[in-house]
Amino acid sequence: MAQGTVIHVAPEQPTYAVCVLGVETQLDVYGSAPQGCTCFGIDASPGVVVDVAHDPPAKKNSSGSSKWPLDPGLEVSLSVRAASSSTGDQKVQISYYGPKTDPVQALLYITGVEITLNADITHTGKVKPTKARKNQRTWTWGPRGQGAILLVNCDKDNPKSSTMDCADNKVLGREDLQDMSLVTLSTKTPGDFFMKHQLVLHVAKSEMDKVRVFQASRGKQSLTYKAILGPEKPSYTLQLPGGQHSTDFYVEGLSFPDANFPGLISLTISLLDTSNSELPKVLVFQDSVIFRVAPWIMTPNTQPAKEVYVCRIFENEHFVKSLTALTKKAKCKLTVCPLEESMEDQWMQDEIEIGYIQAPHKTLPVVFDSPRNRGLKEFPLKCLLGPDFGYVTRGPQTGGVTDLDSFGNLEVSPPVTVGKKKYPLGRILIGDSSYPSDKSQEMHQALQDFLAAQRVQAPVKLYSDWLFVGHVDEFLSFVPAVHKKGFRLLLASPRSCYQLFQEQLKAGHGEALLFDGVKGKKQQKIKDILSNKKLREHNSYVESCIDWNREVLKRELGLTERDIVDIPQLFKLQVDNTWTSKAEALFPNMVNMLVLGKHLGIPKPFGPIIHGRCCLEEKVRSLLEPLGLHCTFIDDFTPYHLQHGEVHCGTNVRRQPFSFKWWHMVP
């Protein structure tokens, strides 16, 4: 709540004080009492409300008089009903009485003023002044929570600008203002009030680099906006006229929540008494509005797709054509990064992750740029950052980056409930090593800190360092399903693949060939794959790694076996640049798919042909089409599979934000 000062009175001489409308001000009656007095009476102007309380409670005299005993448990508070029209126009008289002393009077002249900071603390999208002063100093989660919300102004509303909007101290028009949160200061005082008082707006020095505040003022022709708080500017003395006045401030976030920043920022207004130039300024009143910076939120495969991104490189013309056909079916926009922009870097999934930020008045997509910085390094800055499309990045920009820092290693589950704990925005999934060693890899701590600090999608660590590339999207995916949970988890499964091939062998199809029709690739018979002991050992190891993750996912996402679909897939081990054996897909990895609503873009596996149909494709269709899904198998063999990636690795999707509002959850 807003806080005022304590008023001390002096017998036989007047005292002058300021009371702010809506704030109870403590009156020190007991400490100001003359020696020998044992009780008191109090009278006030109609515009002043007096509340007298004892601890323990005291009873009124039987005569009904308004005399109260003086004792240490006495508390007297004052509040004003309205702002004063002139200085000291409200009066309070305290009369002290004692058995052996004459009555003594103390006079208090009060100036009532209105000083309120109003922000959208009820999440309506509008700032509504309220008669009752609400507690704006706390921020609470949940459907009944309250607290103002701040967006990081990380888009670029002027395409000609060289940087994000939050990196300059200018307001670039109405569009820029819409990315900010409005705070209104309302004042009502006597006309000469600010000749002896000041109002100072401020933030903590530890927060001044996380926020910027603009003051709106009317110029000769239009409104102007002056940056008054921000980096190196923790406080600003306002120049306000007396009387009734309203001032608008626009607040923009400069930093997302992170390891050393919980995301809370307090904007405070302080009233100072400057009447005595020979003394320091006296703090009379203080009120604050606390903001929470909106978190960056990921969207899972179950959210509707709005736009798909892919790179144009040499040798992927047919892939792009197939993707074009798929996006048309899914009624989704396709954006192709041209050859000169991609720099022959086809791994769109690894470079970026597109999420969003949201306040009650505004939602905008924000691209999270990975620190991998290869050929697509400039793509998010040149092609995505712009009006109402924000940008954020973390991690070292040079050196110190591993494969696990690419965003194929960053996924998010659909909404889940684990026991009694709800995750209405899902949970982030990142790949990690099973234990630290000289050769192990893990996601950079700066990335992990950023993801955890957002709070609304509590991250889960999975074991992915057993893979040659090391990304979680190499063994899992999620698809929508008409199902109690609304989705199914897909896991790559060597066991399922061996079972399928064994069935085909028993049916007399042992001579059917894997990679039939693939130029330059050695074909393998089903019977030879099944009899390959070394390959069996490789996949037994892979199965154990996936099983470990299976149990983690069941525990951390609240899943059962009924929620999981096993997608047939074989792997092989090969030595990486640290001379460590790591796994990669033997044939195109079908779980590494593109999910566009009911339409799935699945890597074409080139499996054994049985009765004119690929048995791997038929198996996957039989697993997914009963869920209401449509499978389209896309040839990604040369441009992607042979380069250790697949369809999902080579694409990215901007999805529709959740209808659920993040501030309604309880982390």
Residues designated as active site: 350, 471, 473, 649
Q: Are strands 476-480 and 487-493 parallel, antiparallel or unpaired?
A: antiparallel
Number of Cβ atoms within 10 Å of the Cβ of 503: 13
**Tokens coding 89:** 């126009």
Specify the pairing of strand 651-655 against strand 524-525: unpaired
Rg of the chain on CA atoms, in Å: 34
Q: What is the b/e burial string over 255-281, where b = at least 16 CB atoms within 10 angstroms of the residue's CB? A: bbbbeebebbbbbbbbbbbeeeeeeeb
Convert 315-380 into a string of H (helix), E (strand) and C (coil): CCHHHHHHHHHHHHHCCCEEEEECHHHHCCCCCHHHHEEEEEEEECCEEEEEEEECCCCCCCCCHH
Give the DSSP H/E element, type plus range, for residue 91: strand 90-98
Provide the Cα torsion 67, 72, 74, 75; round to 10°.
140
DSSP state of 384: I
Report d(CA 103, CA 37) in Å as an integer. Answer: 9
Please report, for the chain, how many H helices and E strands are present, in that order: 10, 42
Handedness of CA 417, 418, 421, 423 (dihedral sign): negative
Q: Is the peptide bond before 129 cis (omega within 30 degrees of 0)?
A: no
The Cα 314–Cα 640 span in angstroms is 11
CA dihedral angle for residue 270, residue 276, residue 278, residue 284, rounded to 10 degrees: -30
CA distance 236 to 130: 25
Q: What is the DSSP letter of 193?
A: G
Residue 578 and residue 535: Cα distance in Å, rounded? 22
Q: In this structure, are residues 49 and 22 in contact, taking their beta carbons and an 8 Å threshold? A: no
d(CA 572, CA 532): 11
- Cα separation, 16 vs 433, whole angstroms: 69
For the chain, give the longest Cα–Cα distance.
119
CA dist 78 and 86 (Å) reads: 19
Altogether, the residues listed in the chain come to a count of 667
The angle formed by the CA atoms of residues 401, 207 and 365, to the nearest 5 degrees, is 55
